[in-house]
Each structure stands twice: as structure tokens, then as C-alpha cells.
Amino acid sequence: MDTTRDFKVVLLGEGSVGKTSLFSRFMLGDFDEKHNSTLQAMSKNKRLNLPDGRRANIALWDTAGQERFHSLGPIYYRDSHGAVLVYDITDRNSFVRVQNWVKELRKMLGKDIVLAIAGNKIDLEKSRSVSLEEAEAYAKDVGAEHYSTSAKLNKGINEMFTSLSTRMFDAAQTDKSTEETVLVARPSGRKSPIVIDDSASSSAPSSSSGNCCS
């Protein structure tokens, strides 16, 4: 079993929901009241020790604020192992935006990406406009995990990244065990990859021929 792995994780969500604040909290241990519109997409690495002894090397990406102009393309999230979809619990519209991101990510990356949905600004509970029940039910429905966070009070953030990392590890492990099954099934002593002749076995699952032509 691998005990250390690299993961790319992107932050997504409408402008002002608190993505950059979550980024600063988790990566820099810092919260800045000022609203700094991020100038460039940026990433930082952080190593996270999981309770089970595994280590996740997270490259976390924050947007350059392009979401404000609806111009955040697949180039930003491609090759991601995980995504944190952030909404502001006081802003219903930002929750709808999360649902659009889920649709786009599932369409572009399928089941390969592990999704976390973060209801941020829980310190503003009095002004909540998205109920926790609704958000959790939605997350469950789309195979995501829901977390409640406050970048301001530093609540729920480490827990979220720890849990997300565990799930990304498990997803990677599942991939690997499928690979291993294939390897074991090969005739012993054979080193070269098995070539599947599509003309002879048109019923071969498409995933077996999915590695070509990049």
C-alpha cells in the first residue's frame, strides 16, 4: 500500500464565497479581513498527515478570480484528484452555482474526481439561507461529502482536507487494485503489455483501450 501520494485539489465556487480565505487559512494559517481579489491562479503544496499514518501531498489551487467573469475553464481543473466546491451559507445563489460546478466536473472528469462541498461562513449562522439538511442531502445525491466551514474562525477546514485526502487515497487505491487484478491475470513471465485486438474483440470494455493517443 502506498503511504505517500501527491494530489491536485482545486477550489471552485462563486466570487466572494471565501475560497481565497480557505486557501490562506489552510495553507498559511492566516485570515485577512480585506477582500483581496486574487490576481493570478496560484497553488501551494502542503503535506498532510492522516490519522491512519498515510501522507497526502496536496497541491491546492486557488483561482485568479476568473469565476467573476464566468471564464474559469477546464484548464484550471484538469488532472485534479479532488475539488472543493465552496458556497456561502448566507447566499443561496452560490449554492446553485455549486450545483452547476458539480454537473460540469462530472461531465468532464466523470467519477475520477473526489468532491467536497464546503458550506462556508458558518459564523454567520443567523443569516443562513441554505439549510444544512438540504446541502447534505444534495451532496449525498451526487456522491460528494458536505462540510461546514468558517475561514474566519478556522472551523472545519483541517477536518475537511483530512477527510478529502482519505477519500482521494481510497479512490487511488481502488484504481490500483483494479490494475493489479489485470496484472495478475496476465500469463506468468510475460513482461510486455497485452495488446487487445479491437477487430477481434469488439466487446472489450472501452476502458481497456482508453490509454492511447494523448
Does 151 engage in binding with ligand GDP (CB under 6 A)?
yes
- Toward Mg ion, which CB reaches closer, 21 or 148? 21
**Which option in ligand GDP, Mg ion, none does residue 148 bind, with CB closer than 5 to 8 A by kind?**
none
Nearest-approach distance from CB 194 to ligand GDP, in angstroms: 47
Q: Quick one: three-class SS letters along the chain? A: CCCEEEEEEEEECCCCCCHHHHHHHHHHCCCCCCCCCCCCCEEEEEEEECCCCCEEEEEEEECCCHHHHCCCCHHHHCCCCEEEEEEECCCHHHHHHHHHHHHHHHHHHHHHCEEEEEEECHHHHHHCCCCHHHHHHHHHHCCCEEEECECCCCECHHHHHHHHHHHHHHHHHHHHHHHHHHHHHCCCCCCCCCCCCCCCCCCCCHHHHCCCCC
* Per-residue contact flags (x/-) with Mg ion for residues 25 to 54, judged by CB under 5 A: -------------x----------------
Nearest-approach distance from CB 51 to ligand GDP, in angstroms: 25
Which positions lie near Mg ion, rule CB under 5 A? 19-20, 38
Which positions lie near ligand GDP, rule CB under 6 A? 13, 15-21, 33, 35, 120-121, 123-124, 150-152
